[in-house]
Chains A and B, each alone.
Chain A
Amino acid sequence: MPSFTAQIPNLQVLGPLVDMSLWISTPLEEVLKEARQSIPDPVAAKGMIDTGATGSVIHPSIAQQLALKPVGVVRISTPSSEDVPCYQYAVRLIFPNRVIVETLAIEAPLRGQQIQCLVGRDVLAHGVLVYTGYINQFTLSF
């Protein structure tokens, strides 16, 4: 079962952070290869597992660096906003141990954060998240 475990110095304060990469989706990679177009490198990002997020979210700079074009628009609601339209992009989330998940991520500013990706319940829907608070560790398995 593909999985990774992260040890965070203060898991309660910092949250379940993970060093990950984001890349273009497999179908887009195949299309670009076939057309002999350049393929962008994966982009390193600080991610956070967020069980309060219906879907995964990426910072606009990620979409820009990967030259992604939107494949959808969804409306989102947060405690401070309602019905905000956001683009969706097809992305590959690459976690430690080469654990890979393909999903559609929403683009949002993630203002004031040191994270570039929220890993939401669209990803967790396929896996098992074990949050072991007393040893500051979490594991995500698929």
Chain B
Amino acid sequence: MADLLSEEIKTYEANFEALLGAHEGKFVVIRGAEVQGTFDNQMDAVAWGYRRLGNVPFLVRQVVKVDVPLSFVSNLLGV
């Protein structure tokens, strides 16, 4: 995977404690070094991100204490 959202991931990690304290369970929209907004719903966050930022890479991420990987039973993914 290329590093298209590496800056946004760093921003999330740098702000994690504050985000967890204020917005646990919510979805944040991050572009570059800035947390742009928080939302109750993932698709609302995506829609807002497109409207606000346009068709550019941005990070929508749920603020959770433990980030559990998504599981796939089959090997169809090829990763």
Residue contact B77 to A110, C-beta cutoff 8 Å: yes
Q: Give the total of A residues in contact with B, Cβ under 8 Å.
A: 49
Question: 1/0 contact trace for A96-120 toward B, CB 8 Å?
Answer: 0000001010101111110100100
0/1 per residue, A75-115, Cβ < 8 Å to B?
11111111111111010000000000010101011111101
Q: Is the CB of B9 within 8 A of A76?
A: no
Measured in the bound complex, the distance between the Cα atoms of B74 and A32 in whole Å is 36
Q: Residues of A at under 8 Å CB distance from B? A: 25-28, 30-32, 35, 37, 48, 50, 52-55, 57, 67, 69-88, 90, 102, 104, 106, 108-113, 115, 118
A73 touches B5 (CB 8 A): yes
Query: Are A53 and B1 in contact, with the CB atoms below 8 A?
Result: no
Interface residue tally on B, bucketed by range:
20 to 34
Please give the residue numbers on chain B whose beta carbons come within 8 Å of chain A beta carbons, in ascending order. Answer: 1, 4-5, 9, 42-43, 46-47, 49-51, 54-61, 67, 69-79
Supply 18 A–B pairs (Cβ within 8 Å), ascending by A.
Answer: A27-B47, A35-B54, A37-B55, A53-B76, A54-B71, A54-B72, A72-B59, A72-B61, A76-B77, A77-B72, A78-B74, A79-B74, A86-B1, A87-B4, A102-B43, A106-B70, A108-B77, A110-B77
Q: Are B58 and A71 in contact (CB under 8 A)?
A: yes
Of all chain B residues, the one with the shortest Cβ separation from A32 is: B55
Indicate whether A78 sits within 8 Å of B72 (C-beta atoms), given known contacts A57-B77, A104-B42.
yes
**Of listed B57, B71, B72, residue having the most chain A CB within 10 A:** B72
B-side contacts of A78, CB under 8 Å: 71-75, 77, 79
**A71 near B46 (CB under 8 angstroms)?**
yes
